[in-house]
């Protein structure tokens, strides 16, 4: 039986990405991870630290995809407004969560640090949220229905993504076969386009690059059906070989 | 007289970014460039190579911001559908553009290459488009009303962005002052939050990092008003010094 498709979107929350101060390192990481586990990433948005913008994007995206992953805005400072925005999006109250507090207390005590109001802010979670472990800096991420809320700092985001992965429903895995050609893509475009027409269940992409002063092309075939993928790939190799393009 | 704010969004078009095959290198580059020239980037979206998805995003984003910059999908292959999607979004015809053709002909002739149907595809532009120079591989980008359509290959995107910049209306430049602290951000959160309340025209961000086994924080103050920015920055330094946090 064919497995269902499980889809996702990412919402990156952060003025620092939009201003160019910080280069996002999370989108590519999450994208590759989701592809590996069998979740199809279908959209990404980046919005500023403005509550109504976050609320609107969360409500739009969580309704369109199986999962929404957010990054950023769950730290201790005034501009960390993601948890409040999620509570507003779900129309639930938000308060200090005793489970989060129980995790954070011993961590700060062991380091001789006070649980200041700023640190307590990181224990505030929307009512009904499940916790996501944070092995790096303890303050947890959380999952609210199909919305997974993670930190923006890449190392922390990565441990949260690992921690939440076992809870996720996954679907058919996208399989990939690639072929690297020392040709400009315009020389294989027609052949590839014709082949694509015979395989609507195999997506065929062509990615040009310049390296060592030469135009190169990587062809990428993707499908959830291994037999059809292999068939299309062999056909592609044969057609390229026939025309002396391999 | 205060300069108006000029805003922008970026639309990244590409299955390869969503699958994790390719890490986007354009968003951060464009974001930094726009900040430098006085355009405020307010949203980014990444969508797949699916025409109705591109058309919907183009029409939504071009209506919300002064400019929309797109990257990707203007090459010679069947999955390069951006120009057609832009034509559909603007409800105008699309055909081979004689100006684009005049640029491309001598380039290919000089290299002894034929203008195949695939290569001609790159000369197809929506009616009414203005051309954007491409010093790398000649096939032009284009501008259609407030929508700037650029290549996905970073080197090509960068020369197109440079070429189009002189045509852009720009607004007040966002000025920035930063302060690096060897402190976890939770220790400065309250102070920064209080200061933010007195300066609604200066945005104050706090960005944590881990380096050399230590928690660090960079504080970033941003404003279009140099006097207010300096005043807020001096106040911040004084408050931090008073508490022994500098």
Nearest-Cα residue of chain A relative to residue B206:
A77
Alpha helices in B141-243 (DSSP H): 154-165, 189-198, 226-242
Which strands sit side by side in the sheet containing B147-150, from one edge to the other? A130-132, A141-144, A147-150, A67-71, A7-13, A40-47, B40-47, B7-13, B67-71, B147-150, B141-144, B130-132
Q: How confident is residue B212, by pLDDT bands cut at 50, 70 and 90?
A: confident
Q: Which residues of A touch B67 (CB under 8 A)?
A: none
Q: Which residues of B touch A196 (CB under 8 A)?
A: 78-79
Mean pLDDT, chain A, rounded, equals 94
Q: Give the number of A-B residue pairs with CB atoms closer than 8 Å.
A: 193
Strands B94-96 and A67-71 turn out to be unpaired
pLDDT in tens, B31-79: 999 999 999 999 999 999 999 999 999 999 999 999 999 999 999 999 9
Q: How confident is residue A71, by pLDDT bands cut at 50, 70 and 90?
A: very high
- For the cut 70, the answer to whether the pLDDT of residue A114 exceeds it is yes
Which pLDDT score, from 0 to 100, does residue A3 have? 67
Chain A nearest-CA distance from B219, in A, is 11
Considering only CA atoms, give the Rg of chain B: 22
Q: Which of B19, B27, B47 sits opposite A174 (nearest CB)?
A: B19
Q: With CB atoms and an 8 Å threshold, state whether A190 touches B118.
A: yes
Q: How confident is residue A143, by pLDDT bands cut at 50, 70 and 90?
A: very high
What φ, ψ does residue A166 adopt, rounded to 5°? -65, -20
CA distances from A128 to A67, A100, A133, A146 (A): 17, 13, 16, 12
Beta-carbon neighbour count of residue B34 at 10 Å? 27
Burial bucket for residue A194 (CB in 10 Å: 0-12, 13-18, 19+): exposed
Chain A nearest-CA distance from B118, in A, is 6
Q: What average pLDDT does this structure show over B18-38?
A: 96
pLDDT in tens, B66-112: 999 999 999 999 999 999 999 999 999 999 999 999 999 999 899 88
Enumerate the domain spans of chain A.
7-165, 175-242
> Quick check: B12 and B72 in contact, CB under 8 A?
yes
Which pLDDT score, from 0 to 100, does residue B158 have? 98
Which pLDDT score, from 0 to 100, does residue B130 have? 98
- For the cut 70, the answer to whether the pLDDT of residue A2 exceeds it is no
Q: How confident is residue B1, by pLDDT bands cut at 50, 70 and 90?
A: very low
pLDDT in tens, A31-64: 999 999 999 999 999 999 999 999 999 999 999 9
Q: What average pLDDT does this structure show over A20-28?
A: 96
Q: What average pLDDT does this structure show over A206-223?
A: 88
Q: CA B124, CA B147: separation in Å to the nearest integer? A: 16
Q: What percentage of residues in chain B have a pLDDT greater than 70? A: 99
Mean pLDDT, chain B, rounded, equals 94
The torsion region of residue A72 among left (phi > 0), alpha (psi -120 to 50) and beta comes to left
Nearest-Cα residue of chain A relative to residue B204:
A79
Q: Which of A19, A47, A207 sits opposite B35 (nearest CB)?
A: A19
- For the cut 60, the answer to whether the pLDDT of residue A1 exceeds it is no
pLDDT in tens, A93-104: 999 999 999 999
End-to-end CA distance of chain A: 36
- For the cut 90, the answer to whether the pLDDT of residue B24 exceeds it is yes
CA distances from A68 to A6, A74, A94, A144 (A): 11, 16, 20, 10
The ipTM, to two decimals, is 0.93
CA distances from A150 to A21, A73, A176, B235 (A): 20, 9, 28, 33
Q: What percentage of residues in chain A have a pLDDT greater than 70? A: 99
Nearest-Cα residue of chain A relative to residue B17:
A28
Which pLDDT score, from 0 to 100, does residue A214 have? 82
Q: Which residues of B touch A224 (CB under 8 A)?
A: none
Chain A nearest-CA distance from B154, in A, is 9
Q: CA B72, CA B81: separation in Å to the nearest integer? A: 9
Residues A216, B142, A211, CA angle at the centre, nearest 5°? 15
Q: Which of B136, B185, B222 sits opposite A75 (nearest CB)?
A: B185
Task: Name B149's bridge partners.
Answer: B70, B142
Q: How confident is residue B205, by pLDDT bands cut at 50, 70 and 90?
A: very high
Identify from B12, B14, B16, B19 which residue to disrupt to test chain A contact, counting A C-beta atoms within 10 A and taking the largest count.
B19
CATH of A175-242, one of 2.40.50.140, 3.40.190.10, 3.60.21.10, 3.30.300.100: 3.30.300.100
> Quick check: A206 and B95 in contact, CB under 8 A?
no
Burial bucket for residue A200 (CB in 10 Å: 0-12, 13-18, 19+): exposed
Biggest distance spanned by C-alpha atoms of chain B: 72
C-alpha dihedral, A190 to A194 to A196 to A198, nearest 10° = -170
Beta-carbon neighbour count of residue B221 at 10 Å? 24
Q: CA A179, CA A165: separation in Å to the nearest integer? A: 31
Tokens, residue B165: 């910049």
Q: Which residues of B touch A21 (CB under 8 A)?
A: 176, 207, 220
Which pLDDT score, from 0 to 100, does residue B246 have? 87
Q: What average pLDDT does this structure show over B164-174?
A: 95
Strands A147-150 and A67-71 turn out to be parallel
- For the cut 50, the answer to whether the pLDDT of residue B187 exceeds it is yes
Q: Which of B20, B35, B47 sits opposite A28 (nearest CB)?
A: B20
Instruction: Output B2 or A82, whichever has higher pLDDT.
Output: A82
Does CATH place domain A7-165 in 3.30.300.30?
Answer: no
Which of A187-196, B83-92, B210-219 shows the lowest per-residue confidence on average (mean pLDDT)?
B210-219
Identify from A30, A45, A72, A76 which residue to disrupt to test chain B contact, counting B C-beta atoms within 10 A and taking the largest count.
A76
Nearest-Cα residue of chain A relative to residue B35:
A19
Reduce the DSSP state of residue A27 to 3 states and report it.
helix
Which pLDDT score, from 0 to 100, does residue B214 have? 82
Q: CA A208, CA A187: separation in Å to the nearest integer? A: 11
Q: What average pLDDT does this structure show over A224-245?
A: 96
Tokens, residue B131: 């051309």
Task: Name B68's bridge partners.
Answer: B9, B147
Chain B nearest-CA distance from A92, in A, is 25
């Amino acid at each position: 039986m064919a497995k269902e498709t499980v889809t996702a979107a990412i919402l990156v929350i952060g003025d620092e990405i939009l201003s160019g101060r910080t280069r996002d390192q999370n989108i590519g990481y999450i994208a590759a991870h989701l592809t590996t586990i069998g979740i199809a990433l279908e959209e990404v948005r980046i919005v500023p630290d403005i509550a109504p913008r976050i609320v609107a994007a969360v409500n739009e995206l969580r309704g369109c995809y199986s999962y929404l992953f957010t990054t950023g805005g769950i730290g201790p400072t005034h501009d960390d407004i993601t948890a409040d925005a999620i509570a507003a999006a779900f129309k639930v109250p938000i308060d200090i969560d005793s489970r989060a507090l129980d995790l954070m207390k011993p961590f700060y005590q062991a380091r001789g640090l006070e649980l200041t109001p700023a640190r307590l802010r990181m224990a505030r979670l929307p009512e009904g949220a499940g916790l996501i472990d944070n092995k790096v800096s303890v303050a947890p991420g959380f999952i609210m229905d199909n919305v997974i809320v993670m930190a923006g700092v890449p190392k922390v985001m990565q441990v949260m993504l690992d921690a939440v992965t076992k809870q996720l429903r996954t679907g058919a895995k996208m399989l990939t076969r690639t072929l690297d050609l020392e040709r400009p893509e315009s020389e294989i475009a027609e052949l590839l386009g014709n082949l694509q027409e015979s395989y609507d269940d195999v997506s065929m992409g062509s990615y040009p690059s310049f390296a060592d002063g030469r135009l190169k092309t990587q062809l990428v075939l993707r499908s959830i059906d291994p037999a059809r993928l292999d068939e299309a790939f062999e056909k592609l190799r044969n057609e390229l070989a026939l025309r002396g393009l391999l």
